[in-house]
Structure 1
């Protein structure tokens, strides 16, 4: 079959012709029958969205897919890492690149369905910000502290370390300390938005606490080999080769961040009322609008507030551990940054939304966690242009919370955790290891985005106990 044959079948000229020819070659190489080839091609051409998650057909399907809503001649360029991703997540990414304000996009290997932009989605826009492309948990972040204590001390101090986590953390709805914690972020101007002004007292009550869902604080063993030690030294950290006691936390801007997202998303949806139902969460606010300026100021305040929550957790726990911190790094996702990127040969000043994606500019350090029973990784970004200098933010879910609750029992999970040497203090059954992708596969799919500088293995894990969702 030749390109002209594809055109006669209805394939538009352009990228889809080449990807169609590539599909034919792979189909035949895998033992496909030539008699079935036209039928196979016809199925993809007729309904490409059904094949977006199919490893063999997804590239061809992507080049054929045309969103119902299209205010531009061609989708904004976007790249994908990992194959066999959830078709609905790939479709969401394509829909986002159909927006008239979209400039470029990228989809990370941990991708799964979100609201509007998929989790693991990166979207560059011009002159505007999309509240739901940032997400509900604004500036959710990872923070890692590596102590000058050997990891071998964990076994002998499990009870003490567990007690420290129990006394110095608070999770989920109603989570607050008896005595309010203090941080300079509460002295900032919280009147930048009517929402931050209204919820300042609640934010202060929740200062230093963690959310529900996939948020955690955990002790573990941080392993650094000689090559990684040298790379860390290049980045300004003196961590000799070895295995160390470390603390890893994951949380965001709590209830106030959620209120900011919901308030400004409603305004954006009202103003972009012509978006179809399946794309309403991609509604944007321009910076010429007062609401857009308010949201941007509130989002950045929530970023500093989320950082303060982690700073207090790590400060109080380090004091109780009584150890010196050798390495202290953090990175955030669910945020939007003003950045300059080279896109199709031209420099653009854009707003880069990373919803469940980690900044991975050249030389930038970050943390990519696995699950409560699998390793997380300290990474250094390579600044890959086509990824908009981004990487995954974790392993990524393979099932919804409702499906997870029907699929697992604590009896089986506890055996798995015991085999992995993990003590779980509290968590929901919808956060067990089986709900996540294989972190090793996710990392293997993004070797061109980041290099690994260390590995963290969870040992004592605390998450929000079973109960109501985030308030």
Structure 2
């Protein structure tokens, strides 16, 4: 009864078979995977692991031939039933949702949000003024669901966040010590594939999820090696000037100007691998029409849903730990402890209450939490202001605001359209020194942050303004100096 083997991925050939191993073999998640593990661990424990794998591959390749088998019939039936399952239908009509700054949002993002509002689990939604097309939920999309979490509704870079430290240092220090600060950034930060040879220890690495969740366990060593580093792309660490407005703020600081560090990064490969793995699990367990397939969800009453929730929170806390180490290194170089720190996720899912008091899962994929009194940071570009904001708790926005300016050009379009000379001139006019970054991150590739803030004046109150002065991005150590 031997059949041609199905080989997808390379499971470990030692130790006890796990659900993750079966996914690599091409097994659909859900009941087939659980049934396979139960049968193997009950009836075939004496077989070598390689023979267990071959047996399961045989059933997967030809389940119809095992329907009457004494022990393998339940597995064959689970696989056949899974293959016959019809896609889950979308609702015929979409739920209404609020769009902020609609005139500046591309049709692709609007179409993606429309589809998200037709999911059977959707309870509400909103689209932020910095929105643009992504995978599944658009970047800048906010979606509330009932008892379900959508991995691509959170995003690939789980827990991507902003973090700011404010110091009692006169802003004249920025200009007088520009070369010194540039060296601090190049010496004390790592981006993209670069990492520290000796990462700093952190309690996050002792979390039980690293041993209890198989997919996370395999990522622990890589996560440790990337501690305290930043991603590539639009992630950055920068020195700048903060202007605090008004006499009353949560930090107990007087209005005026302060030196500040602002960083933007996420959970590195840890979050990306968690997102990739559980997205595949969700798509296997929750077949949707082609146009909605990246919006597949995991029920929070399922093992996979519970695992993803734990792994997502771990990735968010890991991202926070990386930011803390970035700021600790730079604060040590400055020889000052920060007066205040502000930080917030903008790729995450939260358990919150809707207007009726019902618990919903609020996905913010590129959106800043803006519940009443909640503090957050909305950055501009490398040469335009960012803002410290206080949420107003607007129900129509699901207590959310934009996570930045939002792109007007794709990375490819920006590289083809813009020039290095133009970007250099822009930075000089803004008095900004840039370490790294290419044309794909040029300020002109983004929307006007002032217009974006105007669109969401009902969502947040501006407490302070941040002006970048020395910006570190990507892996390149070259920098564009100003006159």
Question: What SS does the aligned partner of 2:316 have?
Answer: helix
Residue aligning to 1:422: 432
1:282 to 274, 292, 295: 295
For residues 431 and 193 of structure 1, what CA distance do their matches in structure 2 show?
Answer: 36
Aligned residue in 2 for 1:165: 185
The answer as to 2:271 corresponding to 1:254 is: no
| Structure 1 residue runs without a partner (length 5+) | 1-67
**Greater mean alpha carbon deviation, residues 260-269 or residues 191-200:** 191-200
- What is the root-mean-square deviation of aligned Cα atoms in Å? 1.5
Q: Could you tell me how far apart the structure 2 residues matched to 1:208 and 1:377 are?
A: 24
In structure 1, how many angstroms separate the alpha carbons of the residues matched to 2:151 and 2:337? Answer: 39
Q: Which runs of 4+ in 1 moved over 3 A?
A: 68-71
Shift of 1:98: 0.2
The reply to whether residue 176 of structure 1 matches residue 203 of structure 2 is no
Q: CA deviation at 1:231?
A: 2.9
Please tell me whether Structure 1 or Structure 2 has the larger radius of gyration of its CA atoms.
Answer: 2
C-alpha distance after superposition, 1:281-332 (max 9, x if no partner): 1000101221111111100000110000000001111011112311211001
Q: CA deviation at 1:195?
A: 1.6
Structure 1 length as normaliser, TM-score? Answer: 0.81
- Give the whole-Å Cα distance in 2 for the aligned partners of 1:450 and 1:192: 40
* 2:313 matched residue in structure 1: 300
* Secondary structure, counterpart of 1:307 in structure 2: helix
C-alpha distance in structure 2 between counterparts of 1:356 and 1:384, whole Å: 17
Q: Retained in 1: the 8 A contact 2:165–2:262?
A: yes
Match of 1:324 in 2: 337
CA drift of 1:466 comes to 5.9
- Give the alignment partner of residue 120 of structure 1, picking from 119, 131, 140: 140
Counterpart position of 1:78: 97
For the 8 Å contact 2:241–2:258, the answer to whether it is kept is yes
Specify the alignment match of 1:379 in structure 2.
389
The unaligned stretches of length 5 or more in structure 2 are: 1-86, 478-483
Structure 1 contact 216–249 (Cα < 8 Å) conserved:
yes
**Which residue number in structure 2 is paired with residue 95 of structure 1?**
115
Q: Is the 8 A contact 2:435 2:476 kept in 1?
A: no
Cα deviation 1:407-465 (Å, max 9, x = unaligned): 12212111110110000011122111011100000000000000000000000000003
Q: Does 1:399 align with 2:409?
A: yes
Q: Secondary structure at the match of 2:339?
A: strand
Using the alignment, how far apart are the partners of 1:427 and 1:354 within structure 2?
26
Deviation per CA, 1:239-296: give whole Å up to 9, x if none.
21211110000000001100000000011111222x2222111000101221111111
SS of aligned partner of 2:322: helix
Q: Return the TM-score normalized by structure 2.
A: 0.79
Q: Hey, what's the Cα distance between the residues in 2 that align with 1:108 and 1:224? A: 25
- 1:46-80 deviations in whole A, cap 9, x for unaligned? xxxxxxxxxxxxxxxxxxxxxx9963354223111
Contact 2:89 / 2:289 at 8 angstroms: preserved in 1?
no
1:221-241 deviation per Cα after TM superposition (whole angstroms, max 9, x unaligned): 11123x1xx231xx2x12212
**Superposition deviation, residue 83 in structure 1:** 2.3
